[in-house]
Structure 1
Amino acid sequence: MPRTRTLEDALTDGWDSDGTGELDLTPSPRLLEVLGDIPYQPWQCLAELVDNSFDEFRSDLDRDPADPPAIHITLPRANTALVDAQVVVSDNGRGMSLQTLRDALRAGFSGNARYGSLGLFGMGFNIATARLGSKTTVRTSRAGDPVWLVAEIDFKDLQRRETFHVPLRRERKEDPLLHGTAITIRDLRPNMVDALKRPKTISTVKDKLGRVYSYLLRDHSPIPELPDDDTLAGSGIGLYINGKRVKPRIPCVWAASRSVTYSGAEIKAVQVIDRKLQDAYACMRCGHWHRHYDVVNCVECGSDDLELRQRRIHGWLGVQRYLDESDYGIDFLRHGRKILLGDKSLFTWVNPDTGETLDEYPIEIPANQGRLVGEIHIDHAPVNYQKTDFDRSSRDWNDAALYLRGEGPMRKTKAKDRGFAENDSPLGILFKAFQQNDPGIRCLIPGNGQSATHKLTSDWGSKFHEGLAEYQLDEKWYEAVLNHEEIKNRATTQGGSDVSPAGGDLGSRTGLDPLPLNTPNPGLSQPPVVLVEPEPPVETEEQRYARYRQHARKLYDLEGEVSALNLGKRNVSVFETTIPVADASGAYMPTISRVTSGLNLEVYVHGDHEVFREFGRDPRDYAILEISQVLRALARDVDTKITVIAAEVTCQFPDQRRTDSALRDRAAEVLRRVRDLATPVITAQAPQMWTLLSSDSKLRAERDAARVDPRLDWLGAIHDGRFSAYLSYDALAGLVRGAPAAFMDGAVYSMAWASWTDEQARDRQVSHVARLLETVGEFVADASHKSRQELVMTRLAIDMLDDIVARRE
């Protein structure tokens, strides 16, 4: 029988004679296996490994330009057997010494990583390799060293032997000048092999790494549209997956030279950020920053390895050339790696006193799509261990957020209502100038003369990211902005043409052709004398279409890929000309077309043809008929009705959509703009303005306010004018009728009033504005089904109202 242990045994076992002792806290080797259960996605595992390579290249300031930095990732192919599958990450960096390798492979060892690098070659390395497989080999050497250092980590073997000791060997180098590090992971997890073999996974990994390391992968020259500033240039590091280079995702932004005018100031589409903060001591062991200068030891880890380092917030904020539901927001970087992608937290204001939140962007039509973007470097701010977010409780993050977006709301009226000064932060300035999405030069939004072409510009954005040369610079977008202004101005001024169409329909297809001005009138009994002139040189087809192009503007909302009748996609371009167009026989027509190289289709519409000018037909509808006719001819299909094909083609141009919900969105946007403009006018004489409202308008405003902001002091809002934010269309119509001098002449509506001396003329101006407000208000208030004619009438009313609402400078 075992001897019974006494109290004396229990008090003396494991203790020194003085009553003290120690505990061995070396973890079980199974810890490394458990690390593999941490939910890292494949791209995150690879990112942890390449982080160390990026760190190496960024710290090698004297690298030979003839030896460009490169990182190669090799992943299993689709036909690779499980037993042969492996993941390899190699670089041509400087390599590691024996001591550096020892430190790098120690689980949890961080060295100076928290301050100056992306990777934690210790814990991050072990998590990533354990997640991928159970056997890892690290092979490294420096230039001039005669051998490679090779370490092998077998997680299963370590657990079996219950030790953290791993074998290390030396291999002779054939070329002593070779240098770099290679990490090979074998005995891969079956689920990881299956994932890495899927083409979709590889595509996702490439896309994600191209986004996360965009700044580091770019050439040393900055993004083409950004200012020529060294702080915006990339690092020019090459990253390859299975031999193919990973392309950095470049932001598709308006050029820094583009600008709009807001409140009399020119606001550029790119705002360069460079805010230098007070230098601080950084702990080289744990990375903690100390803001006071009399520190001797780190307050977190006690280390005396402190260095005075620069702290800085730098980068840029800008305007994307297209709107998107998710592809917008600000990227935040640490040491060149993007920690946050498309972060939208700065677009929401949080009241520091009450906790109230206010979503400020995007709320313009389309209210779920944005275009404000940026890249901000905050190297001194701490991140979480997965590098998916910054520590938002840290002072460094909050200081950066406060500087970028300001203390109060970005909307002027919201800031004033809550007692804050006008927001003049970098984001606030950009927001106020570019928050709206109205087509034209005022907001830098492409349009078709009537509305914004958001779907088309989104397609252009996709072509930009595909790398198509035609879409890299912003000229195409800017041309569409100017095109919108030209069409709109032409519709207003009714500019003429040097040819007068005399027919009434579709040329040879209906038997009615427009005639030149000097064509004899067949109805005259005595034809006029026609001077015989020498025949001009015969115009070639290429010259004829070049002439049309010279006198045409592109209809961008009808540009793109179109398919029908089981035909492959055809790239379509539509041009509206100011001169007549004719077919090969010389017969004048409202539309003509030709198929160019690559089966691209060009359509030309004579915008001043009488079928458009006198009968009110839309040139776009005829262009769609022309496209449909060509597609039917290419398909050699004589059975399918042209109207069926036209309907299919029309549905492929979503920017043409005019639905009830789309019109309601537009009506809501115009109402918001009118309210914003009317607020300062109403605030200046709030009690008097309140008395001008009908009882029904007052009740509606109060109910709307109670629904939106139940905590609002309604009596106070009546007194100071805040009730204006809840006025309906009918209420606004009543105000302009009751106090036209306050709202007309550009204050809220651009219609002239004060300059007219005749009362009837003044009344007509006021009635025109009020009737438009009431018409749109009736549509908004009536949720019943609308006929096509009613929707057309409403669209025209919204267009007319939108046109007379005063524009900001």
Structure 2
Amino acid sequence: MTIGQYDEEPGGEARISELDLTPSPRLLEVLGDIPYQPWQCLAELVDNSFDEFQSDPDRDATEPPTIHITLPKATSGSEDAQVCVADNGRGMSESTLENALRAGFSGNSRYGSLGLFGMGFNIATARLGNKTTVRTTRAGDEFWLAVEIDLRSLQHRESFHVPLHREAKDDPGLHGTKITVSELKSNMFEALKRPKTVTTVHQQLGRVYSYLLRNRSPVPELPDDGTLAGLGISLYINTKRVRPHIPSVWSASRSVKRHGTDVNAVREIDRKLTDAYACMDCGYWHHHFDVAKCVECGSERLELRQRKMHGWLGVQRYLDESDYGIDFLRHGRKILSGDKSLFTWIDLDSGETLTEYPIEIPNNQGRLVGEIHIDHVPVNYQKTDFDRSSRDWHETVRYLRGDGPMRPKKAKERGFQENESPLAILFKAFQENDPGIRCLIPGNGTSATHKLAHDWGNQFHRGLPEYQSDDKWYQAVLAHEEAKNRETTGGEHTPPRPGDDDLSGRTGLDPLPPAEPPTSGEEIQPPVPSEPEPPTETEDQRYARYRQHGRRLHDLDGEITALGMGKRSVTVYETTVSVTDATGDPMPAVARVTAGVDLEVYVYGDHEIFREFGRDPRDYAIMEIAQVLRALARNTDTKFTVIAADVTRQFPDQRTTSSALRDRAESCLRRIRDLTGPVIATAAAEMWARLSNESKLQAESEAARVDPRLDWLAATQDGRFASYLSYEAIASLVRNVPTVFMDNKVFTAAWASWTADEARDRQVGHVARLLETIGGFVSDPSYKNRRELAMTRLAIDTLDDIIVRTGE
């Protein structure tokens, strides 16, 4: 690199001299100190292969695009250890190879590419080792082109000039490129030998290149219109195929109803943006049409290109603390994976931040996901983030999540219209985690089975066929509704069997012909039928009958182990017909071991021990499991109760702890406050006046904790104070002004339709006592015994049933 400069010659004449600013080859070695993880180094190298495949639309379909990564084995020595990345792309000519490597030194990367041997190539190879060889050939060429970049040699010679070799090849039809890094750095060599590192590389590359690796059919459950299909490129590490990480989302055909409108669990994004000029050398986008040169690199190679934002937003089938959020991609590679920044609203004027999701219980776990392609948004040189200060990024965020808060109440408080952005619509429909069809959350009839749904998600990612569709999750949603309805109606209605209305249906006899009228004085003798032998029911038929008349308790599905035995898959059914053992004696629960090591348990839900003594069928199912495991292990030393306790601990969704109940109580209170706000706002001054001084002080204290910048005086006048009322305060308002809260305004309990004061008082008292019971539990941090927790759980269950469901 040179720069012109004027020098003064003696006598006043000027001459031009040159300064040699070619960087020292030491620069490449210094690049190796940039903290790239092993998977990032490999990603920089395979980026070039993906670029090649994406730029070849006419590729022969009989030769699928493939990339092979070879890493050192655990038994490899440091002297001969290598890292290789090879593809079967078109290969490069001499001039293309020279320009590619020169582009690497200058840091340029052309429009529409992931890598093209840009700066990342040099960082990655310098990070891995001291010597890099690039070999490439095209179909029809008689030789391979080979270039060796030896960092130590370049530094010693203080020159960037490297020799180009031509190596003969046996098959002229061969084509592709191979990058080999040798003389590995000691720390990188030791890391790549470890199985844990190789596993991490598999997982990270499977996530980053999910779109490029998955086949040409869309992600399971997404709309099958071709726009969301993958590219079907194959990537192998040491001959083992890298599996793309595919999101486990609800089917696009599933929906929930909000405000009378069906909101589908998957929303497609396809937004065409204004065309712009893109620099073909550095990739910079120009939003003005009167440009002659690239403002970034000075190139005149500008072309008018289409800009678009496409992809999808959806709902995952399970909750997770970290595995949720939106993936943002550039040219098929994920730059951001599981990004959660769009779930926080930022006021650009005041700097106020408002975390909007997730806050429902469990408030540290989410399920909103997505995959958004934004090829036009610039990224940093490490490809770990987009330029969030760029106009293009702000345009993306504004469209996806809108300008104001996604929560209608928060938007209104801050002067925004209701947010109708794609993410806000999905958020408002699926922000809550209540079990059942309303939120698409699996449950057991009482509570959500988040742990079970998550376990099924793990099976999905392992590739087990029965977990690929969302049927298992959806059946658990329906099972929750069925169980909940049974509890509400006091039992399940058994439809009449054929023939119940006649003798033949009850006895198995053929129908009798109509009797002829008797003659005078004739004594009627009823026929005496012979009783046929009842058919013998096989064991398989008996259990099939139990299943036919049963419902699956999904929260007791799973794999369990005890007494040192291997894992056994357990399935539990609650039946509406009595169950018996092999001798025909009636039992509350029976079990059998199926083919392999699986275990099936059947519990008769209407047994007197459950109907009259209030025992939970799940407890007897667990006892039956423990009994069978003890028998299989032939262990008479371990106490039965110890085994049952061990089995119980393996079903965490069954827990009833103080912290879990507090979480549920907070969720209910938040829903009540959201419903209370609008009805209180119509008579805010009156409602505020009806509160006790203690309730007012508690509400003010809560407001100061949550939103210290709130104008509290104004909040007491316009009704916003409702967002900070305690259970006890709401209970007192229900007792004083029931007409504001009852009859499907906040609570579904009827009030106005009753004319007797006693009936009205009973309805009001029922709601208020539930609120006071739960409020007392929340405000009292002292230890609660088992009975107190059980009573609180029942109160929360009952209150949850009578809170109005929004949007329905």
TM bucket, shorter chain: over 0.9
Partners in 2 of 1:161 and 1:148 — Cα distance? 26
Change (3 A) 1:592 1:325: same
Deviations 1:260-285 (A, max 9, x none): 00011110000100110000000112
1:432-471 to structure 2, matched below 5 A, reads: 432-471=428-467
Change (3 A) 1:20 1:697: same
Change (3 A) 1:334 1:537: same
Change (3 A) 1:591 1:191: same
What SS is found at the alignment partner of 1:598?
Answer: coil
Task: Tell me if 1:663 matches 2:661.
Answer: yes
Q: Is 488-497 or 166-175 further displaced after alignment?
A: 488-497
What SS is found at the alignment partner of 1:564?
Answer: coil
Kept in 1, the 8 Å contact 2:105–2:122? The answer is no
Name the structure 2 match of 1:774.
772
Partners in 1 of 2:11 and 2:417 — Cα distance? 68
Deviation for aligned residue 1:173: 2.0
2:731 to 727, 733, 751: 733
Change (3 A) 1:498 1:136: closer
What SS is found at the alignment partner of 2:230?
Answer: coil
Partners in 1 of 2:475 and 2:680 — Cα distance? 39
1:472 to 443, 468, 474: 468
Partners in 1 of 2:159 and 2:559 — Cα distance? 63
Name the structure 2 match of 1:503.
none
Change (3 A) 1:498 1:676: closer
Kept in 2, the 8 Å contact 1:733–1:773? The answer is yes
What SS is found at the alignment partner of 2:370?
Answer: strand
Deviations 1:20-60 (A, max 9, x none): 43321101111111111111000000000000000000010
TM-score by length of 2: 0.94
Q: Is 255-264 or 119-128 further displaced after alignment?
A: 119-128
Deviations 1:667-692 (A, max 9, x none): 00000000001111111211111112
What SS is found at the alignment partner of 1:116?
Answer: coil
Task: Tell me if 1:269 matches 2:265.
Answer: yes
Deviation for aligned residue 1:438: 0.1
Kept in 2, the 8 Å contact 1:110–1:120? The answer is no
Deviation for aligned residue 1:115: 2.4
Partners in 2 of 1:271 and 1:359 — Cα distance? 22
1:626-705 to structure 2, matched below 5 A, reads: 626-705=624-703
What SS is found at the alignment partner of 2:167?
Answer: strand
1:222 to 214, 218, 222: 218
Name the structure 1 match of 2:181.
185
Task: Tell me if 1:29 matches 2:25.
Answer: yes
2:552 to 539, 546, 554: 554
2:167 to 162, 165, 171: 171
Kept in 1, the 8 Å contact 2:378–2:386? The answer is yes
Name the structure 1 match of 2:500.
none
Change (3 A) 1:15 1:380: farther
Name the structure 2 match of 1:81.
77
Deviation for aligned residue 1:470: 0.6
Q: Is 256-265 or 540-549 further displaced after alignment?
A: 540-549
Mark the runs of 5 or more structure 2 residues left unpaired by the alignment.
1-5, 496-505, 508-527
Deviation for aligned residue 1:488: 0.4
Partners in 1 of 2:439 and 2:7 — Cα distance? 81
Deviation for aligned residue 1:176: 1.2
1:398-437 to structure 2, matched below 5 A, reads: 398-437=394-433
Name the structure 1 match of 2:567.
569
Partners in 1 of 2:203 and 2:110 — Cα distance? 27
Deviation for aligned residue 1:532: 6.5
Name the structure 1 match of 2:291.
295
What SS is found at the alignment partner of 1:687?
Answer: helix
Kept in 2, the 8 Å contact 1:562–1:649? The answer is yes
Instruction: State the one-letter code of the partner of 1:266.
Output: D
Name the structure 2 match of 1:137.
133
Partners in 1 of 2:12 and 2:262 — Cα distance? 78
Instruction: State the one-letter code of the partner of 1:369.
Output: Q
Change (3 A) 1:57 1:15: farther
Task: Tell me if 1:367 matches 2:382.
Answer: no
1:148 to 144, 151, 167: 144
Deviation for aligned residue 1:640: 1.5
Instruction: State the one-letter code of the partner of 1:149.
Output: L
Name the structure 1 match of 2:390.
394
Partners in 2 of 1:613 and 1:531 — Cα distance? 38
Instruction: State the one-letter code of the partner of 1:228.
Output: D
What SS is found at the alignment partner of 2:14?
Answer: coil
Kept in 1, the 8 Å contact 2:74–2:193? The answer is yes
Kept in 2, the 8 Å contact 1:151–1:169? The answer is yes
Deviations 1:389-421 (A, max 9, x none): 000000101110110001100111000111111
Kept in 2, the 8 Å contact 1:109–1:120? The answer is no
Task: Tell me if 1:535 matches 2:530.
Answer: no
What SS is found at the alignment partner of 1:148?
Answer: strand
Kept in 2, the 8 Å contact 1:110–1:286? The answer is no
Kept in 2, the 8 Å contact 1:107–1:126? The answer is no
Deviation for aligned residue 1:469: 0.4
Change (3 A) 1:13 1:78: farther
2:49 to 36, 47, 53: 53
Partners in 1 of 2:383 and 2:305 — Cα distance? 22
Deviation for aligned residue 1:111: 8.8
Kept in 2, the 8 Å contact 1:611–1:617? The answer is yes
What SS is found at the alignment partner of 1:315?
Answer: strand
Instruction: State the one-letter code of the partner of 1:778.
Output: G
Name the structure 2 match of 1:592.
590
1:93 to 75, 79, 89: 89
Partners in 1 of 2:291 and 2:383 — Cα distance? 29
Task: Tell me if 1:745 matches 2:763.
Answer: no
Partners in 2 of 1:382 and 1:744 — Cα distance? 54
Partners in 2 of 1:243 and 1:312 — Cα distance? 37
Kept in 2, the 8 Å contact 1:283–1:306? The answer is yes
Kept in 2, the 8 Å contact 1:111–1:284? The answer is no
Q: Is 31-40 or 13-22 further displaced after alignment?
A: 13-22
Instruction: State the one-letter code of the partner of 1:421.
Output: Q
Task: Tell me if 1:377 matches 2:373.
Answer: yes
* Percent identity for Structure 1 against Structure 2: 72
Deviation for aligned residue 1:495: 2.7
Task: Tell me if 1:341 matches 2:343.
Answer: no
Change (3 A) 1:354 1:497: closer
Deviations 1:490-512 (A, max 9, x none): 1111235779xxxxxxxxxxxxx
Deviation for aligned residue 1:302: 2.1
Instruction: State the one-letter code of the partner of 2:653.
Output: D
Deviation for aligned residue 1:67: 0.7
Deviations 1:444-500 (A, max 9, x none): 00000000000000000000000000100000000000000000001111235779x
Change (3 A) 1:570 1:590: same
Kept in 1, the 8 Å contact 2:8–2:14? The answer is no
Instruction: State the one-letter code of the partner of 2:636.
Output: V
Deviation for aligned residue 1:299: 2.0
What SS is found at the alignment partner of 1:135?
Answer: strand
Name the structure 2 match of 1:489.
485
Deviation for aligned residue 1:547: 1.1
**Pairwise CA RMSD:** 1.9
Change (3 A) 1:16 1:759: farther
Partners in 2 of 1:498 and 1:383 — Cα distance? 62
Q: Is 122-131 or 211-220 further displaced after alignment?
A: 122-131
Partners in 2 of 1:132 and 1:13 — Cα distance? 50
Q: Is 322-331 or 75-84 further displaced after alignment?
A: 75-84
Change (3 A) 1:11 1:260: closer
Name the structure 1 match of 2:154.
158
TM-score by length of 1: 0.93
Deviation for aligned residue 1:194: 0.9
2:785 to 763, 784, 787: 787
Task: Tell me if 1:121 matches 2:114.
Answer: no
Deviation for aligned residue 1:109: 5.0
Name the structure 1 match of 2:503.
none
Instruction: State the one-letter code of the partner of 1:190.
Output: S
